[in-house]
Structures are given as structure tokens and as C-alpha cells.
Amino acid sequence: MRRLYYILQTLLRGHASSFVKLLSLTLGLTVGMLLFSQIAYELNYDRCYPEADRLAIVRVKMTNTVDKHTAYTGYDYTVYDAVAPTLAQDMAQWVESGTTVYPSDDKPVFYERRRLEGAQYLMVDTCFFRTIGIEVLRGNPQDLIRSDAAFVSESFARKTFGSDTDPVGKLLELDKRDTLTVCGVYRDMPHNSLLRHDFLASIHRNGGYYNGSGWAWNDMFYAILRLRNTADVTAVNSNLQRTVQQYTDTERDGWKYEYSVLPLPQKHTDDPDTRQRLLILGVLGFVIFFVSAMNYILVTIASLGNSAKAVGVHKCSGAGQGSIFAMSLVETGLFILVAAVLSVVLIGLCSDLVSEVLGVELRELFTWQTLWVPLLTVVLLLLVAGVLPGRMFARIPVTQLFRRYTDGKRGWKSTLLAVQFAGVSFVLGLLVFTILQYSLLMGRDMGIRLPGLVEAEGRLDYRKLENIYDYMRRRPYVEDATMSTSSVLWQYWTQGLYANNGDRLCTLNFNYVHYNYPDVMGIEIVEGRTMQKKFDLLVNEEVVCRMKWTDGAVGKRLNNVPDEWGTIVGVFRDVRNEGFESPQQAIVLVANPYANLVSEVRLKPPYDDNLHRLNAFVEETFPDVYLHFVPLADKVRDMYSNVSRFRNAVWLTSAFIMLIVLVGLIGYVGDETRRRSKEIAIRKVNGACVADILRLLMRGILRVAVPTVLAGTVAAWLVGRVWLGQFVEQAVVSPLWLVLLALLLLALVVAVVVLKAWRIANENPVLSIKSE
């Protein structure tokens, strides 16, 4: 207890250095815990289910038989609806059960005419609970055979119906059209899963599956199997292709379809882009964690001269090296304990910001199962930041009680400062890459005119929708309106694009649209004219390039397309419907006045105010219809949400590590000026001016800063180039940007040295010499 009293007194006397150490540890722990917990969260994807390693998902790899390139840059995890039940039946010796899952159509969910914001659902069959292993608390899973049945999670039931209300029998609405009856309740599952949902709806329709067509077409379902044993994945993969070939061709139209299964928990990390992102997040977390620890050690070592006499007193009183080491470790532990508390408070106060940066709710990020991650971070920080200073304090000889202690730890301090310079230059350099790439993605022309363009999705009767459109067009704030079967962004309906010799060239995206669609969307026609009659075709420049039409496309027909499709009447400039993270798609717009799944409206400025007026008008005038318009610009941002979150994580790390390094540099310069005050005074007595003194101090700092900043900048260049490799369209990052950043960082170092050393450089040398 007495030792604790001595430690607290020491901390209170050195309140300035104590504040610096506490600030460094708090910032480092905050970002370190967040980044490491995010990594743990993603590495545990789909491991929440009982015996999760026995779950496997079916995937298919499409390889072109001519040039051997693969579609989808790897595997496609959506297959036919018949795959799961067929494999469960034909491979029963290895497959215990199988379930077919259809990702929701993202229809808005209503309860008592009130929209449930953010509600997510999946469409599943009666085998879902048995296959996945989710515990059903109420109800019979076989009730899912009814097309209007739904099962809700515990938390969704409490949030929607109230904790004291029985949810069974309650009615939910999808898109104000389809009514679902709640038939049961199941236990909540974490959200770090491919199968993320708040409730489940039945996939069964008229003896088949919703939107399913057996082995014929519409490969848009997840097929998930529960194997009898973990090792059975090898046997399934050995026999899967032969089993599938009994029901469908695995080689057609110049493409080979190779089926396999992958353990479900491995799917998330099987993506190379995910692994790369997590690796870089780990590097960022390690850098700020290590820099904060090094800054703590740097400040602690700088105080050795002031603490030497106290150590001598303890040793004269009988304390051994072990006791001194323990006292130092306890002191570090107190700092880290307080820093951990402050980190938790800081994260709690900024919970909304943290959720936005990481894309994960705090309650999902920090659970009882993942609490070991922040605790391990705290323990590692204690070991890294506590052992080295403790050993140094323990080795101070007792004779320092009787003479002034001059530490010889300049090499240590220079090394610690070098680590910080390298860390901050690395993180800031990586920040340049993320900012430029995100700016490229958001700033590039998508091929449509985004300002004022809003969109709503919803399947409505064509005649009713036409009536709504007539009303909307009369609004003074509406410029024009149109309809289509697919959103202008994301993937359209697809089929093959075939050359004249019958070879399949690529996937053709097609979208049925109204005649005025190009005008409303701002799509530029570069050849021919716009659509005027049903089944007129507009193709993009990519189609012309793929077909190698050098004599123009107008008047030609596409091969292997529906018979009713007409001829090509025009060519439009490429539209990046899947964004700049994917290659340019071949697209055809097919004129059809009955297209009615997606509604697009072009507003007059001011866009935000008029969007609010439009939604209010539709809701008030047509209360039985749900059409909620959102800006297309918001959908573009959603397309690049992963890039945005990664950029924000780097921003956060950069801000914190910059603050840590600046605090450490200020402390280092202050310590150097105190340590060399007599030397500076003597130099001034011998004629040195203020500039000479500043150059003396800057020379020592720059000798450390220049090579380490250069090393950190080179590391940022190498890692940044690797990160850019995941994008089809990459920002051009000139090395001059990083060179300029390095020079600015060195200029900041010089500025800190000048500001911190200015007083001692101008001080009367007599004052320093007199205190000798």
C-alpha cells in the first residue's frame, strides 16, 4: 500500500509528463481496440451457428473454354433453387440436410401501416432451422410451407410488437402488398453472417420456390448444406460435379461450370479483397498501438534523470531490483487502466461515429464472445510499455542518490522517436491513397446525370403506376419521369452476348425501359437515335467493341436474344451500372412501355426540398402505395461504402497517430533542451546566436526523422499499390504526392523544434550556468 502511495505521489508531481503518457495510451488503445475488434468480428463471420464447420455453401466457377478467363473474378455463390434439396437427397451419405435461401428483394416492411426502418429479411424453406442450427423458441418450422408464413427473431419481436405482446399471429406487410403472418420466434443470431436477417419469410410458392425455375434458369439462390462430418467436404467436392451433371449441362455456350462447396465460415475470408483489407487494418492497428507504446516509453525514459534520486532512496530503504521493477510495472498498469476506462468512455460517446466508420454496431462489435480482444490489447500494451522502462529503473545504481544522474539513453530515445516518425509517415501516406481512390470513384462520370435524379422500387400494377406518373409529372418541381425493370445501378437481368459465329463473348446486361428513359437518365446517345417503338434496342459502346462492329451498330440485330427484340436503333455512351470496382459491362436497353418495377424521376432544383415534397405528395395522395424516392447519388455512395469505411478508418488512425507523435516530439524536444541547457549556455557565451542553437537541435532531430520518414513513405507506397490492386479503375497516385507529404511532415517537425526550443535558445546563458 505504501508503494502505491509513492507511485501516486510521483505521478502527481510529474503531472505534465503523466498527462502526455495518459493521452498517448488512451488514443492508442482506442484505435487499437476498435481495429483489432473489427478484425476479430470479420474473422468470426458465420461461426455463430452450432457446429458451424459442418455448414457448407455451394458455389460455381465459370471458366471460358476459349481464353480460360473466369467470370465474377472467382466464384459465384448463387445457384439454382433445386441445388440444395437435390444434393441433400442424392448425397445423403455425406449431407445431413440442405436449405435454399433467397436474399430478400429489399421490399420495405410495415407493421400497422408503419414502416420498420432497417428491417432485413430472408426467404427460406422449411429445412432452414434444422440445417443452420438456429434454435426455434416458439412455433413449428414446418409452418414455413405456407407462402404467407414468417418467423421473427427475439429482438425484432420485442422492438416491433413490445416485450409484453405475443408476436404469434401478428401481421407484417411487404411493400404494402404482401401480408405475412408471424408463426414463431427464434433465438437471435449475431449479424456477422452472410445470412443477416431480422425475420424470415417463406420461400415456398405453389409447390415450388419464389422466383425459382428448377434447373432451368434463375440461379440466384444460396444452397447451404449441413454435412454429417466436417471431413465430408472432401467427399462432397469429389462427387458434386458428377451429381450436378445428371440434372443440367455443366458446359454450354463456351463456358464451363465447375461446382464445389466451401465451409460457410470460410466464405467471408475467402475473398482476396477482404483478406487484403483485414491485413491492412491489422497493420494500421499495430502501428498506432506500437507508436503509442513507444511514445509512453519515450516520455518515461526522458524522466529517468528526475526519477533517479527517488529510485536511490527506495534502494537505500531496502528495495531490490525486483521491487523497483514491480513499482514501475504497477505505475504503467495504473496508466493503462485509466487509459482503458477513458477509451471505453470515448468510444461510448462517439458510438454513432464509430458505427459509421466501421460499419458495425458497437453492441455487435463488443460481445462476451469477443471481449477477449480488447482485454488482450490492454495486456499486450502493459507488457510492451511496462517491461522496458521497468528494467531501466531497476538498474539505476543506488549511488545516484549522492550525485546528479545523467542518463545515457539517447540511443533508446532516438530509436523510439524513429519508430514514431516511420509510423506516422506510413499511415499518412496510406491516407493519400484512400482519399485519391475514393475521390476517383465518387467523381468519375457514371454515364448518367446524377444531380436531381431520384429512384424508387416497387412492383405495382402498370395502369395504377401510369396514373401515379401522370400526377407526378404535373408537379411543378418534377422535370420528367420514367420506368424500367432494373435500377440503373447494380446488375441488370442477364444473358449471353454471342458473336456471329456462335461463340459466347461475355455476359449481356439487359434492362426493359420506357421510351424516354435515356432522356430522363441523362444517357448520351453517340450513334443513331433514341427508342420510339416497342422492342427498339439501344446498346452501349462496350457491346459494339465486343462485337467488333467497325461499320456501325444501327440496323443490326443481337444474336441468341428473344425473338420479339427488334433491331439496334442507337448506341449510347457506357454506363457504369456496377461502378468502377467492376469491369465495364455490355448493356442493352430494350424499349417496353410496360416496364414497371423501378420508377425514376428527375427533379428541378432545389433537389433536397423537392425530393421531400415529392415523397410527401405520393404518400398523401396514394396512401395504399409505397413509393419512396431516394437520390441516385446516395446509391453511388452505397456502392463504395467499403471504400468509404476503409478511408474513414485510415483517417481516424491518421488523426490519432499524428496527435500521439506531436505530443511525443514536444516532450522529446523539451527533454533535450533541458538536458543540454548548460551546453547551449556555454555555446552562447562563446558567441553562438539563436539560429546556431536552433540548427544544433534540429540537426539531431532531422538525423533521425529524414531516414525514418523516408522508410515509412516507401512502405506506404508499397502497401497502397497493393490496396489499389482490387479496383478495376485505379487512381493515379504520383510519387510526388508522397514526397510532398514527407516534406510537409519534416517541415512540421522543424516547426515543433523551433517553437519548443525558442525560449531556451533566447534565454540568458547566465541563468543556466548559475544553476550548475
pLDDT the model gives residue 418:
86
Q: What would the pLDDT profile of 676-723 be if each residue is shown by its tens digit? A: 666 676 666 666 676 777 777 788 888 889 999 999 999 999 999 999
Cell 488512425 belongs to which residue?
A: 653
Predicted confidence band at 233 (pLDDT cuts at 50, 70, 90)?
very high
For the chain, give every domain's residue range: 2-41+273-441+641-770, 81-232, 459-625
Helices (H), 350-476: 351-358, 362-365, 372-394, 410-443, 462-473
Q: Is the pLDDT of residue 11 over 80?
A: no
pLDDT the model gives residue 464:
80
Round the CA-based radius of gyration of the chain to a whole number and report it: 33
Cβ contact 98:131 at 8 Å: yes
Q: Is the pLDDT of residue 81 over 80?
A: yes
Q: What would the pLDDT profile of 492-527 be if each residue is shown by its tens digit? A: 888 888 888 887 788 899 999 999 999 999 999 999
Cell representation of residue 625 = 402505395
Nearest-5° Cα angle at 38, 32 to 43: 125
Q: How far apart are the first and last CA of the chain?
A: 37
- 3-state SS track over 505-538: EEEEEEEEECCCHHHHHCCCEEEECCCCCCCCEE
Q: Percent of the chain having pLDDT more than 90?
A: 47
Q: Return the closest-CA partner of residue 479 out of 600, 602, 607.
A: 602
- 3-state SS track over 24-37: HHHHHHHHHHHHHH
Query: Mean pLDDT for the chain?
Result: 86
Q: What would the pLDDT profile of 729-753 be if each residue is shown by its tens digit? A: 888 899 999 999 999 999 998 888 8
Q: What would the pLDDT profile of 87-128 be if each residue is shown by its tens digit? A: 999 999 999 999 999 987 778 899 988 889 889 999 999 999
**DSSP assignment, residue 53?**
G
Cell 422449411 belongs to which residue?
A: 126
Strands 114-115 and 493-498: unpaired
pLDDT the model gives residue 493:
85
Helix (H, G, I), strand (E, B) or coil at 47: coil
Helices (H), 631-726: 632-639, 641-675, 677-685, 690-724
Residue 182: phi, psi to the nearest 5?
-70, 120
pLDDT the model gives residue 662:
86
Q: How far from the centroid of its chain's Cα atoms is residue 58's Cα? A: 25
Mean pLDDT along residues 588-599? 92
d(CA 189, CA 152): 11
Predicted confidence band at 382 (pLDDT cuts at 50, 70, 90)?
confident
Predicted confidence band at 356 (pLDDT cuts at 50, 70, 90)?
confident
pLDDT the model gives residue 719:
93
Distances (CA, A) of 636 to 478, 488, 578, 632, 703: 22, 11, 10, 6, 47
Residues with Cβ < 8 Å from 629, sequence gap 6 or more?
454, 455, 456, 599, 601, 611, 614, 615, 618
d(CA 55, CA 525): 49
Higher pLDDT, 361 or 386: 361
Tally Cβ neighbours within 10 Å of residue 643: 23
Each residue of 33-63: b (16+ CB within 10 Å) or e?
bbbbbbbbbbebbbbbbeebbbbbbbbbebb
Cβ contact 737:432 at 8 Å: yes
Cell representation of residue 760 = 531556451
Q: Return the closest-CA partner of residue 490 out of 635, 642, 359, 637.
A: 635
Cis peptide before 108 (omega within 30 of 0): no
Q: Is the pLDDT of residue 9 over 60?
A: no
Q: Name which of 50-59, 518-527, 666-675 the model is least confident about.
A: 666-675
Residues with Cβ < 8 Å from 624, sequence gap 6 or more?
176
Cell representation of residue 650 = 485510415
Q: What would the pLDDT profile of 397-425 be if each residue is shown by its tens digit? A: 555 544 444 444 556 677 878 888 999 99
Cβ contact 388:399 at 8 Å: no
Residues with Cβ < 8 Å from 355, sequence gap 6 or more?
361, 362
Q: What would the pLDDT profile of 160-196 be if each residue is shown by its tens digit? A: 999 888 999 999 999 888 899 999 999 998 888 999 9
Q: How far from the centroid of its chain's Cα atoms is residue 448's Cα? A: 26
What is the residue type of 452? G
- What count of Cα atoms within 13 Å lies in the side-chain half-sphere of residue 120? 9
Cβ contact 582:729 at 8 Å: no
Q: What would the pLDDT profile of 329-347 be if each residue is shown by its tens digit? A: 777 888 888 899 999 999 9
Cβ contact 109:200 at 8 Å: no
Task: Write the burial class of residue 607 (CB in 10 Å: 0-12 exposed, 13-18 middle, 19+ buried).
Answer: middle
Q: What would the pLDDT profile of 527-582 be if each residue is shown by its tens digit? A: 999 999 999 999 999 999 999 999 999 999 999 899 999 999 999 999 999 888 78
Q: Name which of 208-212, 452-456, 758-762 the model is least confident about.
A: 758-762
Predicted confidence band at 52 (pLDDT cuts at 50, 70, 90)?
very high
d(CA 532, CA 529): 9
pLDDT the model gives residue 402:
46
d(CA 87, CA 761): 81
pLDDT the model gives residue 762:
65
Residues in the chain: 772
d(CA 685, CA 221): 84
pLDDT the model gives residue 401:
44
pLDDT the model gives residue 605:
94
d(CA 20, CA 40): 30
Cell 473474378 belongs to which residue?
A: 73
Higher pLDDT, 464 or 543: 543
Helix (H, G, I), strand (E, B) or coil at 194: coil
Residues with Cβ < 8 Å from 200, sequence gap 6 or more?
121, 122, 123, 124, 128, 144, 150, 151, 152, 186
pTM exceeding 0.85? no
Cβ contact 61:74 at 8 Å: yes
Cβ contact 577:509 at 8 Å: yes
Helix (H, G, I), strand (E, B) or coil at 488: coil
